[in-house]
A and B are shown apart, each in its own frame.
Chain A
Amino acid sequence: MYRTEDVLATLGMVRHYKLDVRTVTMGIDLHSCASPDVATLCDRVRHRLIHYAGRLREVCQEVQGRYGIPIVNRRIAVSPIASVAAGHDAEGLLAVARAMDATAAEVGVDLIGGFTAQVQKGWTESEKRLIEALPEVLSTTQRVCSSVNVGTTAAGINMDAIALLGRILKDTAERTRSHDGFGCAKLVIFGNAPTDNPFMAGAFHGAGEPDCVINIGVSGPGVVKAAVEDLVKSAAVRPTLGEIAEEIKSTAFRVTRVGELIGREVAARLGVAFGIVDLSLAPTPQVGDSVGEILQAMGVERLGAPGSTAALALLNDAVKKGGSFASSSVGGLSGAFVAVSEDAALAAAVACGDLTLAKLEAMTAVCSVGLDMIAVPGDTDPETLAALIADEVAIGVINHKTTAVRVIPVPGKAAGERAVFGGLFGEMDILPIHAAGGSTAFVRHGGRIPAPLSSLRN
């Protein structure tokens, strides 16, 4: 017999603390679809997506019913389109994006990632064309998400690509002006992108992966927050930070287990490989589903105050430790996301002035992603956006970790005004950029920042 307390503890994670499987992401290799004829390429893409993902919705519903754990999103990640559609012009790339968009709707997934290029060391003509097509793709499709990897520890940082992306962000934001520049929320700019990342908007099906794979993104900020709160409230003596870390670790274990079980079951029912669990504390705008609230439960009442970075570092590390004990298949980004507009507590801290762009950048040195879902003034110049990207990518490249930027210059709005993206993307007050325009000449040098030395690390 199961202990009633154990059953209720697992059930309580779902009932009270919003534990869910955030995403079941099917990774599909599209390289075999390549063709010099655009219509053939698009047709092959559609057929291959339907072949693998046609039953994804049905199977997810079955598995959700079996375990009573909500599967919130179903998604697809495909091979980087820059290589699948190499040689095609802007119109061809747009046709592929539209085929992806339509087929994603047909098979019932909400997002499809992989309109991607990896240009950390240099770019081909095709990759450059793909980046140039992004404003049109992101503003005219519903479901297509994109990522561009612009730096790695081994290759350095492609500043030409970053400079172009500064202009792309401006153009994309302008074309989606009516939604506060929302098109930019579907573009992630990476340093050290993982190859098996199932989390949108940066998901893609990387090299070294099989034809088709099921990856899982599990989230659980509400569960972790509740565990920390319970520990702090119920302890006779104030718990130490080491004890808080242990509590987070054991909670992360349970959360990861849920993901692995559901991922393996979905993969088995579809007859495809199981890939990884990305255990990420990814917030939603709902109160009680926030990474910021975990830091507050740990005692950092004002997010952005000194101590915020240390608290986030503790959280991120404990999540990774718990996850890695729970499963040998933990991958992706795994850790805490500080997606500002998507996190009610972080957005509130920005609104009251406690949390600044500079502090967020510092915090990204110890968390999973980087400057994520950050609204900046619409009149920010492209070079300043590029410099912001370069700073964040440099943190990742120098420190051997993944970092990313998802920044939205909101057209027609200034610092302090409200940017509203809606749904899970949330809303936030626009953050000012300190000394904007102060590094234009630096960005315009272009070229590549050389790969860092891997010895003499300090």
Chain B
Amino acid sequence: MHTYIVTVTAADRVGIVHAVTGAISERGGNIKELSQTVLRGYFTIILAVEFDGPRDPKAIREAVATRGERFDLNVAVLPDEGRHVDPVPGGDKFILTVLGEDKPGNIHRIAGSLSRRGVNIVDLHARTEGPRFSLVMEAFLPPDLKPAELRAELEQFGAELGLEAYVQHEDIFLATNEPRPVRVGSARNPEGSDVVVPH
């Protein structure tokens, strides 16, 4: 099996998902994973598509763009060569929340601080409402990094920028927001490892 990562962006319109997935189906592709979001009226979708043999990425891109011509899609296709395999083996998933005053460069500086510590961001949402900035991210902490250490560093860094920073294991959000039984350790993967499994 050969997997390709397809990314599509466009101004949001009704029917884009239908067009993109139609182009993939016509060429015999099977969607293994898909994530889509709309941000300020802009549509973005990323798909992992599996084919039974090798395909020319350019041909896939053209097929999607043609099928969605009326939406003026920006399409990119990359062969999946396993580069997405989590570079941080083991480690737990934590939710990092940063709240405070909106200033240019906030996210860049926070991401820099996390990067130096080997923290792998896997999902991130940030927004500003008036002068207020909020950021919520899911991130894997390396096994040797204590959350209290990271919190202390972010708090110190946040104090300089007028931001509050919180580092909390994801289980606390599962426990308070979902009626499933409380489990200690990662409730998403009872084996204890939150590593993204390579395809």
Contacts and interface: CB of A to CB of B under 8 A. Distances in A.
Contacts of A11: 97, 166, 168
Given A1-B125, A2-B173, A258-B176, A7 B182 contact: no
A264 B147 CA distance: 19
B151 A7 contact: no
A301 to B, nearest CB: 31
A83 interface: no
A66 B97 contact: no
B171 A67 contact: yes
Contacts of A268: 184
Contact of A261 (B136, B164, B166, B182): B182
Contact of A2 (B95, B147, B166, B184): B95
Nearest to A13: B176
B151 A65 contact: yes
A179 interface: no
A61 B146 CA distance: 11
Interface residues of B, number: 28
A261 B167 contact: no
B175 A261 contact: yes
Given A65-B147, A264-B182, A2 B138 contact: yes
Interface string A47-73: 000000000000001000111110000
Contact of B134 (A8, A66, A254, A257): A8
Contact of A7 (B147, B173, B175, B183): B173
A67 B172 contact: yes
Interface string B134-146: 1010100000001
Contact of B173 (A10, A66, A325): A10
Contacts of B170: 2
Contacts of A260: 175, 182
A178 interface: no
B136 A67 contact: no
A69 B172 contact: yes
A65 B175 CA distance: 17
B67 interface: no
Contacts of B127: 4
B123 A1 contact: yes
B169 A7 contact: no
A6 interface: yes
A274 to B, nearest CB: 9
Contact of B168 (A1, A67, A265, A327): A67
B17 interface: no
A258 B164 CA distance: 22
A6 B148 CA distance: 22
Interface of A: prevailing SS: helix
Contact of A254 (B123, B171, B176): B176
Contacts of A1: 123, 125, 138
Interface string B145-166: 0111001000000000000101
Nearest to A67: B172
B189 interface: no
A404 to B, nearest CB: 29
Interface residues of A, number: 27
Contacts of B138: 1-2
Contact of A257 (B164, B166, B169, B182): B182
A11 B127 CA distance: 17
Given A66-B147, A68-B167, A261-B171, A7 B97 contact: yes
Contacts of B166: 11, 68
Given A2-B136, A4-B136, A68-B167, A265 B125 contact: no
A141 to B, nearest CB: 33
A258 B176 CA distance: 7
Nearest to A64: B148
B177 A4 contact: no
A266 B75 CA distance: 49
B122 to A, nearest CB: 9
A325 B179 CA distance: 9
A258 B168 CA distance: 12
B35 to A, nearest CB: 9
Given A265-B184, A268-B184, A7 B146 contact: no
Contacts of B171: 67, 261
A327 B97 contact: no
A66 B176 contact: no
A17 to B, nearest CB: 13
A65 B184 contact: no
A268 B183 CA distance: 11
Nearest to A68: B168
Interface in A235-283: 254, 257-258, 260-261, 264-265, 268
A261 B123 CA distance: 24
A435 B94 CA distance: 60
Interface string B93-135: 0010100000000000000000000000001010100000010
A7 B184 contact: no
B184 A264 contact: yes
Nearest to B126: A4
A66 B173 CA distance: 12
6 contacts: A6-B176, A61-B148, A66-B168, A254-B177, A261-B175, A264-B184
Given A7-B173, A61-B148, A66-B147, 18 more contacts: A2-B138, A2-B170, A4-B127, A6-B173, A6-B177, A7-B136, A8-B97, A9-B176, A9-B177, A10-B173, A13-B176, A68-B151, A68-B167, A69-B168, A69-B172, A257-B182, A258-B175, A265-B184
Interface of A: 1-2, 4, 6-11, 13, 15, 61, 65-69, 254, 257-258, 260-261, 264-265, 268, 325, 327
Would you list the 4 A-B pairs with minimal beta carbon distance, nearest first?
A: A65-B148, A68-B168, A257-B175, A254-B176
